[in-house]
Structure 1
Amino acid sequence: MPTTTRLPIDQRLGNLVKRAEQVVIAGKTAVLRDLDLTVPQYSALLVLGEHPGISGANLARRCMVTPQTMATMLANLETRGLVERRRSEDHGQVLVARLTRAGQTLLRKADERAVELELRMAEAFNDKEREQLQEYVERLITAVESAGR
């Protein structure tokens, strides 16, 4: 006999958001696979492309991973010759990261594929619907964040 809950799973927004996230991650994983990039690695390259010289801690925050995970990821990307790290000119104890030429080239290839997927998702909506979806998701994030305070 099924357990009765206050809210059936098919009515839970959190479940729907998680399903959407899993579909997007699976799609990005598929388009990046033959480039030998994971979605988190692509995310790190993307942020580094926009913010060269960023610290590992700031990169971790922007990529929504722990500093420990980012340290491992940066070490792997550095070993592959995609990223270089140097001591910060401002803070000698802080390492900052930049894309190498190879990293920039791989980022361009990966981003073309990721953008195609993003555009496919966007095409499911007209302009007004995309704006509303963004507003609704941002409102959902705010509601969850404010509940934790």
Structure 2
Amino acid sequence: MTSMPAAERLGSHIKRAERALGATKHAVLKPAGLTVPQYAALLVLSESPGISAAALARACGVTPPTMNTVLKNLESRGLIERSPHQWHKHVLEARLTEEGKGVMADADERAVRVERALAAEFTDEERESLVALLGRCVDLLESVRPSSG
């Protein structure tokens, strides 16, 4: 028998919410022809054109190999273009193409509807509290994570 029932574990509740959000975004992004990681990459690229794949991976919370796969797929669809950095020729900068901007706008409209519906479920005070509480979760978890190495 476990020393703490699953229903009492905050991590289980956070994971359930994360899975539900991911599944809903997956469903609303599918008609736009994007996966959630592809959408995340396009979103970051729309705000930070020219960002490197490594920085993009960090911003999207995925591994560099995963991001390289995402970028190759987006590039093959003509949604992004990559070119060597002006000074660091081995670093490829990624930017949205015109088609990518159009797909991103459609996908973002869909994703924002989900975010707005979620936000509307709470009062302003509850949203502020939720954001603060989740921030505390992140801070605590990052402080107790064993260092790698």
TM-score range, shorter chain: over 0.9
In structure 2, which of residues 20, 23, 45 is the aligned counterpart of residue 23 of structure 1?
20
- Distance in 1 separating the partners of 2:33 and 2:120: 27
In structure 2, which of residues 62, 83, 89 is the aligned counterpart of residue 86 of structure 1?
83
Runs of 4+ residues over 2 Å off in structure 1: none
Percent identity between the two aligned chains:
51
Compute the displacement of 1:120 (Å).
Answer: 0.3
Which blocks of at least 5 consecutive residues in structure 1 are unaligned? none
CA RMSD across the alignment: 0.7
Compute the displacement of 1:33 (Å).
Answer: 0.8
Please tell me whether residue 56 in structure 1 is matched to residue 46 in structure 2.
Answer: no
Please tell me whether residue 101 in structure 1 is matched to residue 80 in structure 2.
Answer: no
- Distance in 1 separating the partners of 2:87 and 2:3: 54
Q: Across the two proteins, how many residue pairs are aligned to each other?
A: 146
1:36 aligns with 33
Q: What code does the residue aligned with 1:90 have?
A: W
- Distance in 1 separating the partners of 2:87 and 2:110: 36
Pairing of 1:57-136 with structure 2 (within 5 A): 57-136=54-133
Q: What code does the residue aligned with 1:10 have?
A: A
Secondary structure, in 3 states, of the residue corresponding to 1:86?
Answer: strand
1:139 aligns with 136
TM-score normalized by the length of structure 2: 0.96
- Distance in 1 separating the partners of 2:59 and 2:114: 21
Secondary structure, in 3 states, of the residue corresponding to 2:135?
Answer: helix
Compute the displacement of 1:121 (Å).
Answer: 0.3
Q: What code does the residue aligned with 1:102 have?
A: E
Secondary structure, in 3 states, of the residue corresponding to 2:2?
Answer: coil
Secondary structure, in 3 states, of the residue corresponding to 1:37?
Answer: coil
TM-score normalized by the length of structure 1: 0.96
Q: What code does the residue aligned with 2:32 have?
A: L
Compute the displacement of 1:104 (Å).
Answer: 0.4
